[in-house]
Amino acid sequence: MFPVARAAQSLVARGIQHTAVRRAHRKHEPDFHDKYGTMVLLAGAAVFSAVWGYVFTGLNIEWGFSPVGRITPREWRE
């Protein structure tokens, strides 16, 4: 059983080495994430911040540990 396990291990190791060599010699072509990844991340962060900033500034809530007695209803506008 031991020689069979050793042979299987060497086959797996050889396959990994071949894959690594094959990938090392190939030219790296930029994909979508390489080209636009940072831009998409920053745009998403900006949209996230803008939406939540609008929500938080539009609520008129007095922030504190307990909202009891702090939140008062506004008069209805007609």
Return per-residue pLDDT of the chain as tens, 78 residues: 577 777 777 767 777 777 777 666 666 788 888 888 999 999 999 999 999 998 888 876 666 566 566 667 778 776
- Domain total in the chain: 1
- Whether residue 70 lies inside any domain: the answer is no
Which backbone phi and psi does 28 adopt, to 5 degrees? Answer: -85, 120
- Whether residue 71 lies inside any domain: the answer is no
8 Å CB contact between 74 and 60? yes
| CATH code (residue 20) | 4.10.51
Which domain does 10 fall in, by range?
Answer: 1-59
- Whether residue 19 lies inside any domain: the answer is yes
Residue in this structure with the two tokens 């009891």, named with its chain if needed = 68
- Whether residue 49 lies inside any domain: the answer is yes
- Whether residue 31 lies inside any domain: the answer is yes
- Whether residue 67 lies inside any domain: the answer is no
Lookup: tokens for 51: 């939406």
Whole-number pLDDT of residue 32: 83
- Measured distance CA(32)–CA(25) in Å, rounded: 21
At residue 71, what is the residue type? I
